[in-house]
Each structure stands twice: as structure tokens, then as C-alpha cells.
Amino acid sequence: MDGEGGGAAAVHHHTRSPEDVFRDFRARRAGIVKALTTDVEKFYQQCDPEKENLCLYGLPNETWEVTLPAEEVPPELPEPALGINFARDGMIEKDWLSLVAVHSDAWLLSVAFYFGARFGFDKDARRRLFTMINNLPTVYEVVRGVAKKQSKAPNGSSKSSKSNSKPSKQTNSNSKPVKPAHPKEEEDSGREDAEEEDQAYLCGSCGESYANGEFWICCDVCEKWFHGKCVRITPAKAEHIKQYKCPSCSTKRSRE
């Protein structure tokens, strides 16, 4: 925990711009990605369910650490998900790692916007920070192997990457509408923008809007969202789809 605390203190002294906070975000993210990919065996072993509540921390020097939560209340930084080790042996390893990835994405965002609040970022600075973060694939996308696919598609990663930080119940990267994922932007952008944005969250098939908890899927070609039931895709089916094409894009294949 010393490394984490020291890193946080260092950021407090020097960081003033969104670019600085983003560098901190990127370094912590790199540490977590290592834990869940290249160092996954070591990470798995450290998350012993027999131990107390453990957390995965990404550190500002691009390393990671599994340790107990901070003792001070409130902690200097927002805390990661508690007790990730308890679920380790009760789930398929791949699903457990995805769950940790989703919670890690949420934690990374909360740390970044915590610094943004500490340094008094205005609307434009927050948007700049969010845009930089959103241009990276999420930890969840990296762990699920979705990141490579997204980088091929124009605008793919910027449209859907942040949304992975929230819906831990969904299975496939395509399975969540973007709308619930942009509270910061929506608050900032004024009513007209919000109304315009709302148009993007109507089902491309039936025209109805997104209802919380519904399964949706995004077409990787036209980037429209569809109710799973409207295009006959279940979460289980979506799990095995590398690149989803909606019915109308499927019939346009000859144009490519």
C-alpha cells in the first residue's frame, strides 16, 4: 500500500492538467492489464479466497498490487472493489477475470475524475480527460480480447469503450447501450445535445428506447443499437460473436 499512497501523493503535488491525470490513469491501467494478462498466474495465486477482503490496485509506475484496502477513513483515493478474491473459486476463471476487469475500469475512472475534482477541472478539462480515456480500450475489452477488433473499426473503441466500466452483469462487449455510460458528458452538454444524443439510443429495429437492464447489441458496421430480442440475439449467442452485423448490414456485404 505504500507504493499506492506515495503515488497518489506525488500526483497531488504535480498534477494540474487533464494530460497529467491521464498519464496517471494510463499507468495505473497498464499495471492492472498486466495483472489480468501477462501476470495472470501470479495474480490468481495472490487472490487467495482464504485471505481477508483483497483489492487489486494499479500503481502510477505501471505495476500492480493485491492488498488489503486502505485503513484510513475516508481513504486518500477512491477504493477498488473489495473482496475480489472471495469469488475466485466460485466462477469460471475467464468470467472471474472479466468481473475484476469491469470493477477495475470503474475504479480507474473514479480515480481519474477524483483527481479532476481535486484540481478543479472545468467542463472542457473534464471532457478532454474523458476523451483521452475513452480512446483507450477498457481493461475489460483487453481481457476479453475485444480490443483488437475495436481498433479495426472506425470510431469503434471511442464509442463503446467506457461503457464497459459499468454493466458487470452483461457478458459480451456489444451487449450494453452507450447511453448509461456518459453521465458526465450528458450533464455537461446541455439539453439540446442530450436530446440529440437520445436519438442514438433507439433500437434500430423497433424504434423503442433503451430500458434499464435490457440486453442490447451494437452493430459493428453501422454502430446502431438493437434490442437483442428484435434481432434474435441472446446474451449467450452474443458471447460467441466476434463481429456483429445487424440484418441490414449483413445484406450489404457485397459492397465491401
Q: How confident is the model at residue 108 (pLDDT cuts 50, 70, 90)?
A: very high
What is the domain range of residue 245? 199-251
CB-based contacts of 61: which residues, under 8 Å, 6+ apart? 3, 7, 27, 31
CATH code for the domain in which residue 238 is found: 3.30.40.10
Please provide the average confidence, as pLDDT, over all residues in the chain.
78
- pLDDT at residue 242 is higher than 70: yes
Q: Kindly give, in sequence order, each residue whose CB lies less than 8 Å from that of residue 58, ignoring residues fewer than 6 positions away.
A: 27, 28, 29, 30, 31, 32, 35, 64, 104, 108
Distance CA 89, CA 158 (A): 34
3-state per-residue secondary structure call for 133-185: HHCCCCHHHHHHCCHHHHHHCCCHHHHHCHHHHCCCCCCCHHHCCCHHHCHHH
Whether residue 34 sits in one domain with residue 100:
yes
Give the SS3 label for residue 39.
coil
Q: What is the pLDDT of residues 162-200, one digit of tens each?
A: 344 333 334 444 444 444 444 444 445 455 555 555 555
128 phi/psi in degrees, rounded to 5 = -60, -45
| 167 located within any domain | no
Domain membership flag for residue 256: no
Number of domains in the chain: 2
Kindly report the number of other CB atoms within 10 A of residue 188's CB atom.
16
Whole-number pLDDT of residue 244: 84
Q: For residues 137 and 219, state if they share a domain.
A: no
Q: Within this chain, do residues 136 and 204 fall inside the same structural domain, yes or no?
A: no
Amino acid 235: pLDDT: 83
Looking at the structure, do residues 138 and 203 belong to the same domain, yes or no? no
pTM (2 d.p.): 0.55
